[in-house]
Amino acid sequence: MSEFTDLKSLSSAEYLQQSGDFLKLTLEQPDTLEPFSFNLTDGTKVQVWDTGVICFEPAVLTPNDIVLSCGVHGNETAPIEICAALVQDVLLGRLTLKHRLLVLFANPPAINASTREISENLNRLFSGTHSKIDGAHNAERTRAKALEQYVSQFYNAARVTETVSRNRCLYDLHTAIRGSRFEKFAVYPFLHNKPWQKAQFEFLHACDVTTVLLMQTPATTFSYYASNTHGADSFTIELGKVQPFGQNDMRRFTKVNHALRQLISEDAVTTKSFDESQFQLYQVYRAINKQTEAFELHFADDVENFTCYPVGTLLASDGEIEYRVEQEGEALIFPNAKVAKGQRAMLMVVPTSVVHNLA
C-alpha cells in the first residue's frame, strides 16, 4: 500500500476511503482523532468517532447491534490484526455488512508502545471504576470512560421502532500473557443468575472456543460492563498467547475470523447445536488477592492457564499466609504476582455445568 503512505497530503476521510487502514490512522494519532464520516458505495454509513473508534451502519437495518473490541491490552496483537483486516475489507467493499457494527481499538498508546498498558490495566476500569478509584487521572481512566460513552451511544442510537427489541453483543478480543492448557477460552460475565445463553455457546463453538469460565460476581471488565449495563451478550475472549505484530500464526485464528465475518455480514453464523460434552466449563472457586509485597507464586513462571495440581500443593504465599490446592480438579488461571497490592493475583476455578440454568 505504498501509494497511500503519504497521509499528510490527504484528509483522514480520503486516506481511509483509499487505504481502508483504520489501524494505521489510529496509531498515527493515538490520543485523539477529529470525527468524520462518509458513505460506502453500498450506502453503508461510516462514522469515525475518535481514534480507534469506528461505527458502521448499513442502509437497511436489522435488529442486531454488534461491538467488537481489541487492544484493551496494547500488546495483544492477534485480535488487533484480525479486527484491522475486517475493518479494511468492509471499507474497501470486499465484505458487505449486514448489521450495525462498532469496532474499537481500545488502547492506541499502549498498542504503539507494544505494552499491555501505559499506566494501569484498562480492563479493571469499567462500570464507572475509572471515576471512583483514588489516584491521579491517567490516559487509561479517560479512555475507559470514553469507551463506555461510545458503547452507550452506539446501542442507544439504533434507529428502530419501539416494538422491535435489539440483539446486542460485545466481543472483547484478547490474547493471554501465558500459554493455556486450552488454547482459546472465553470469560462469560456474571449474569446475576439469569440463564446462560445456549446460542452464545454455539457461537463460541463456531469460533473454536470451547473452554468457558462462568463468572459468579460483578467485575470491572469491559465485557461485564456491556452485559450488565446494556444487556448485551458479552464475552472476554482469549484467543491464544501474546506474540509481537506480524509473528502470529494466523492459521490458528481461521475459525474465529470466519465466524466474526459471518456474524457481521450474514443473517446468522453457521453453528452446531449446543452439546455440553464438547465444552470445558469452569466456575470460579476463589480469587487470591495480593495483600503484601511479599506475595509469591510457588510454581514456574511459564505455567499454563488451567493447570491443575494435586490437593495440598502450595500455590502461593503472602507473608505468613499459604495458599494450597483445596479441591480435586481445581485449576489456576491468570496468575500474576506483579499486580498492585490489593489486586487479584490469581483465580482458582473448578469444573461446572450449565444445563440447570440455560436458555
Query: Where do contacts with Zn ion occur on this chain (CB under 5 A)?
Result: 73, 76, 174
Q: Which residues partner with 318 through β-bridges?
A: 321
Cell of 239: 484467543
- Least Å distance, CB 174 to Zn ion, is 3
Contact assessment for residue 352 and residue 289, using Cβ atoms and an 8 Å cutoff: no
Contact assessment for residue 159 and residue 63, using Cβ atoms and an 8 Å cutoff: no
DSSP per-residue codes, 109-151: HHHHHTSS-SSS-GGGSTTTHHHHSSS---HHHHHHHHHHHHH
Smaller CB distance to Zn ion: residue 89 or 208? Answer: 208
273 exposure class (CB count in 10 Å sphere: 0-12, 13-18, 19+): exposed
Residue nearest to Zn ion (CB): 174
DSSP state of 46: E
Buried b (16+ CB within 10 A) or exposed e, 283-315: bbbeebebeeeebebeeeeeebbbbbbeeeeeb
Residue 82 CA to chain centroid, in angstroms? Answer: 12
Q: How far apart are CA 318 and CA 322, in angstroms?
A: 7
Q: How far apart are CA 140 and CA 147, in angstroms?
A: 10
- Told to judge if 238 belongs to the known catalytic residues of this protein, a careful annotator would answer yes
Smaller CB distance to Zn ion: residue 64 or 305? Answer: 305
Smaller CB distance to Zn ion: residue 46 or 226? Answer: 226
- Least Å distance, CB 83 to Zn ion, is 14
Cell 469444573 sits on residue? 351
Q: Which residues partner with 235 through β-bridges?
A: 171
Smaller CB distance to Zn ion: residue 16 or 186? Answer: 186
Buried b (16+ CB within 10 A) or exposed e, 57-76: bbeeebebbbbbbbbbbbbb
Smaller CB distance to Zn ion: residue 148 or 238? Answer: 238
- Least Å distance, CB 59 to Zn ion, is 35
Smaller CB distance to Zn ion: residue 176 or 269? Answer: 176
- Least Å distance, CB 266 to Zn ion, is 28
- Least Å distance, CB 241 to Zn ion, is 11
The active-site residue, picked from 76, 81, 183, 238, is: 238
- Least Å distance, CB 121 to Zn ion, is 9
Catalytic residue positions, numbered: 238
